[in-house]
C-alpha cells in the first residue's frame, strides 16, 4: 500500500506528519508523491487562521469524485482543525467519504485507527472513525520517518499556557507539557549517530522558553540548550518559537556563547503598540521588547532577527499601525511574517468590538510587505 500526506501549517505539524509517516512506514506502507496514487490519503490540518482552515476544507472536498471511483482508498483528516470538536463533527457530516477523523491529542492512535479501517474495508463495512481526545499527554517512542533532509525537528515542549487573546493554539494543543530532558538528549544523540553529515537540529515548541517550568525546579530552556551543545557531533542548533516575555538573560547568553547555536532568533512581537499588546494579552511592552532586542544586538552583533506581526487586531487604529511600522524600522528585522487578524472561534479577540474591516487589514499587510522589501534592499546595499 502507498500513502500520501498533505501538511498544512507550522513546523510542529510538519514534524507530526513525520510521525504519522513513521507509523505507516512501520506497517510497511510506503510514501508516494502523487496524491491520486495513494491508498491512504492523510490531511494534517492547521487552524491558526481561517484561510488555513478553508484551504484544508477545499482540498478534502476535492477528493469526492476520486473516492467515488476508488472507494477502497482511505482518507484521514487530523491536526489542529479537527481537534476542535464542533469542526470535526461538521466535517464528519459534510464529507461522508472521509474515513478517519482525529485531533492533535491522539495522533499516536493513528496506527490502530488505520488497522481497524483496513479491516473494515476488507469486509466491506463502511464504519467510520471520529475520535477527538481532550487529554493532554506526552507520547514517547513513536517511530519518526524524517523527510526534511538535513533539518531534524525535535519537540521539547507541547502546548501553550499563554492564551494570547487572538490565538486558538492553547485550545487545540492543550497546556504546556515538557518532555523529559533525557528523552530529548537521547533523541538528538540518535540523530547524530544516524549520519556523518553536518545536520541542523531545530528544537520545537509553541513557547520553547517555557521548557522545564512544568517539570523541573532548576532546569529550564537555557540549561537544555547548554547541555545539548555539549553533545559531541557535527551539528548546528536552532529553535522556535520564543515568547518575548519569557526569554531570559541565560538564554541570550547561551545564544551568544555557544558556537553550535545559529545566530538567529525568531521573536514574534505581533504589534508595535502597547495598547494593542495589552489587548492581545502579550504581557510585555515595546520598551521591554526593545530592551531584549538591544541586549541581543549588543552581545551578538551579527544576529538575524525575524518576527511575526498581526495587522488589524480589533481596535488597531492608524496610529497603532504607525507604531508597528516604526518598530519594524527600528529593529531592522531580517524577515517579517505579517498576517491579517483572523477571528478564531472561542477566543477572546473574536468577541471584541471594533473589528477592523478587511480592506484596511489588506492595506496594512501590503504596506508591511513593501516596508520589508525596502528594509531588505537597504540592507543588501549596505
Strands 235-240 and 199-204: parallel
> Can you say whether the dihedral through the CA atoms of 112, 118, 120, 126 is positive or negative?
positive
95 makes contact, choosing from ligand SF4, ligand 5AD, none, with CB < 5 to 8 Å by partner type, with none
Helix intervals (H) in the chain? 11-26, 50-61, 64-69, 80-83, 85-94, 110-122, 169-173, 181-193, 221-229, 249-257, 274-279, 286-299, 318-331, 358-381
324 makes contact, choosing from ligand SF4, ligand 5AD, none, with CB < 5 to 8 Å by partner type, with none
Site string for ligand 5AD, 332-351 (x = CB under 6 A): -------x-xx-x-------
347 binds ligand SF4 (CB under 6 A): no
- For the CA atoms of 8, 10, 15, 16, what is the dihedral angle to 10 degrees? -60
Q: According to CB under 6 A, which one of 171, 308, 317, 365 is a site residue for ligand 5AD?
A: 308
Residue of this chain nearest to ligand 5AD (CB atom): 308
Q: What's the CA gap between 192 and 171, in Å, rounded?
A: 35
Q: According to CB under 6 A, which one of 177, 268, 315, 325 is a site residue for ligand 5AD?
A: 268
**What is the DSSP track for 302-318?**
T-EEEEEEEES-TT--H
Q: What's the CA gap between 378 and 322, in Å, rounded?
A: 20
Q: Which is nearer to ligand 5AD, 260 or 266 (CB)?
A: 266
206 binds ligand SF4 (CB under 6 A): yes
Q: Which is nearer to ligand 5AD, 106 or 207 (CB)?
A: 207
105 binds ligand 5AD (CB under 6 A): no
44 makes contact, choosing from ligand SF4, ligand 5AD, none, with CB < 5 to 8 Å by partner type, with none
Which grid coordinates belong to 213?
Answer: 517550568
Nearest CA to 326 out of 274, 281, 363 is that of 274
Q: According to CB under 6 A, which one of 86, 163, 291, 330 is a site residue for ligand SF4?
A: 163
Min separation Cβ 200 and ligand 5AD, Å: 21
Q: Which residue has the cell 552581545?
A: 299
Strands 157-158 and 177-178: antiparallel
Q: According to CB under 6 A, which one of 102, 113, 166, 211 is a site residue for ligand 5AD?
A: 166
- 170-189 binders of ligand SF4 (CB under 6 A): 170
Q: Which is nearer to ligand 5AD, 191 or 349 (CB)?
A: 349
Q: Which is nearer to ligand 5AD, 98 or 309 (CB)?
A: 309
167 binds ligand SF4 (CB under 6 A): yes
Q: Which residue has the cell 504581557?
A: 283
Q: Which residue has the cell 484596511?
A: 360
Q: According to CB under 6 A, which one of 5, 29, 144, 169 is a site residue for ligand SF4?
A: 169
Q: Partners of 306 in the beta sheet?
A: 266, 335
Q: What's the CA gap between 326 and 242, in Å, rounded?
A: 22
Which positions touch ligand SF4 (CB under 6 A)?
160, 162-164, 167, 169-170, 206-207, 243
Which positions touch ligand 5AD (CB under 6 A)?
48-49, 166-167, 268, 270, 308, 310, 339, 341-342, 344
Amino acid at each position: 500500500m502507498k500513502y500520501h500526506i498533505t501538511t498544512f501549517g507550522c513546523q510542529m505539524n510538519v514534524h507530526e506528519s513525520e510521525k504519522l509517516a513513521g507509523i505507516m512506514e512501520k506497517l510497511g506502507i510506503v510514501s508516494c508523491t502523487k496524491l491520486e496514487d495513494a491508498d491512504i490519503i492523510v490531511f494534517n490540518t492547521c487552524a491558526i487562521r481561517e484561510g488555513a482552515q478553508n484551504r484544508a476544507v477545499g482540498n478534502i472536498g476535492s477528493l469526492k469524485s476520486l473516492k467515488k471511483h476508488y472507494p477502497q482508498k482511505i482518507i484521514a483528516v487530523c491536526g489542529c482543525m479537527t481537534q476542535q470538536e464542533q469542526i470535526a463533527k461538521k466535517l464528519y457530516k459534510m464529507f461522508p467519504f472521509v474515513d478517519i477523523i482525529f485531533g492533535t491529542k491522539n495522533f499516536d492512535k493513528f496506527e490502530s485507527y488505520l488497522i481497524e479501517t483496513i479491516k473494515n474495508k476488507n469486509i466491506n463495512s463502511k464504519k467510520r472513525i471520529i475520535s477527538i481526545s481532550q487529554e493532554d499527554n506526552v507520547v514517547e517512542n513513536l517511530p519518526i520517518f524524517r523527510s526534511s533532509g538535513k533539518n531534524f525537528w525535535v519537540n521539547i515542549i507541547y502546548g501553550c499556557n499563554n492564551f494570547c487573546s487572538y490565538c486558538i493554539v492553547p485550545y487545540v494543543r492543550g497546556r504546556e507539557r515538557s518532555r523529559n530532558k533525557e528523552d530529548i538528549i537521547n533523541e538528538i544523540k540518535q540523530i547524530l549517530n544516524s549520519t556523518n553529515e553536518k545536520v541542523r537540529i531545530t528544537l520545537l515548541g509553541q513557547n520553547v522558553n517555557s521548557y522545564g517550568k512544568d517539570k523541573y525546579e532548576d532546569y529550564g530552556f537555557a540549561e537544555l540548550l547548554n547541555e545539548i551543545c555539549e553533545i559531541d557531533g557535527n551539528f548546528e542548533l536552532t529553535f522556535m518559537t520564543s515568547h518575548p516575555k519569557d526569554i531570559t538573560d541565560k538564554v541570550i547568553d547561551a545564544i551568544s556563547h555557544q558556537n553550535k547555536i545559529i545566530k538567529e532568533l525568531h521573536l514574534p512581537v505581533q504589534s508595535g503598540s502597547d495598547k494593542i499588546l495589552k489587548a492581545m494579552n502579550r504581557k510585555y511592552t515595546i520598551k521591554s521588547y526593545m530592551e531584549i532586542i538591544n541586549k541581543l544586538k549588543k552581545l551578538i552583533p551579527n544576529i538575524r532577527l525575524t518576527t511575526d506581526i498581526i495587522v488589524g487586531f480589533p481596535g488597531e487604529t492608524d496610529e497603532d499601525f504607525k507604531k508597528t511600522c516604526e518598530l519594524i524600522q527600528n529593529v531592522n528585522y531580517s524577515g517579517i511574517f505579517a498576517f491579517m487578524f483572523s477571528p478564531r472561534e472561542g477566543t477572546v479577540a473574536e468577541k471584541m468590538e471594533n473589528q477592523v474591516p478587511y480592506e484596511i487589514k489588506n492595506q496594512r499587510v501590503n504596506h508591511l510587505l513593501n516596508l520589508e522589501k525596502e528594509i531588505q534592499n537597504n540592507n543588501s546595499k549596505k
